[in-house]
Amino acid sequence: MNISNQSKTKNAASSRGDSNRLLQLDALRALAIILVLLTHLGSTINSWNADVGRSSLIYFLAHAGWIGVPLFFVLSGFLIGHMLQREDLATGKVDLLRFLTRRGLKIYPPFYVVVFAYSAYLWFFEGEFNWERFLREVFFIQNYGIGGIMDVSWSLAVEEHFYLSFGVLALLTAKLSASPPPCGIDALALASLDSFRTHSAMSCGPHQYG
């Protein structure tokens, strides 16, 4: 096997796994998640004790931590774009089904456990259950119409819409362009995800961040 074939094989292997992770960006994603959690913590403390909530630190946590959501969105868009670009360069194609399957296996199992558990709680302990809201939650369309059963899941719906739409765009780009610009797919990821984030913020309101 010559050097060029070895290089192509190595690139293909790295595109199929997570051995080439960008640890710095993973750290920033962790920071974004922590900021969101601190926002919820600050808001909860403020609801318990208004006097404590007026302290500078609690006020900052309750009002400034929202920046973690757009930060997480942008980083996710970059990482997904980078992953698909790497696969396209290594194999000459984008496997849309494999991409969506991998995303689904990471998200759907824990999400649906929470949805069904919370639905059971509403049914047995609160005495209320709305099938329309439940179905909107299940199919990730809770950001439209009357909403779902959990306000905090709006951002996950945004991510799901992005995975589907950007996956299709990446597939079309790979098929229509023999030599895409090095950063084109990353730029497209950022632009697409930001448009979803903006729409969701307008639809749900800033209070929904997190």
**Does the CA dihedral 79-82-88-89 come out positive or negative?**
negative
76 CB-contact burial (10 Å; exposed 0-12 / middle 13-18 / buried 19+): buried
pLDDT in tens, the chain (210 residues): 444 444 444 444 444 444 456 788 888 888 888 888 877 776 666 665 555 545 566 666 666 677 888 888 888 888 888 888 888 788 878 888 888 899 899 899 999 999 999 999 999 998 888 999 999 999 999 888 888 999 888 888 888 888 888 888 878 877 776 555 455 555 555 555 555 555 555 444 444 444
| C-alpha distance from residue 62 to each of 54, 69, 184, 203 (Å) | 10, 13, 37, 21
The single residue listed with the structure tokens 């199992």 is 109
What's the structural domain count of the chain? 1
150 CB-contact burial (10 Å; exposed 0-12 / middle 13-18 / buried 19+): middle
**What's the predicted TM-score (pTM) here?**
0.69
| Domain of residue 160, residue span | 3-208
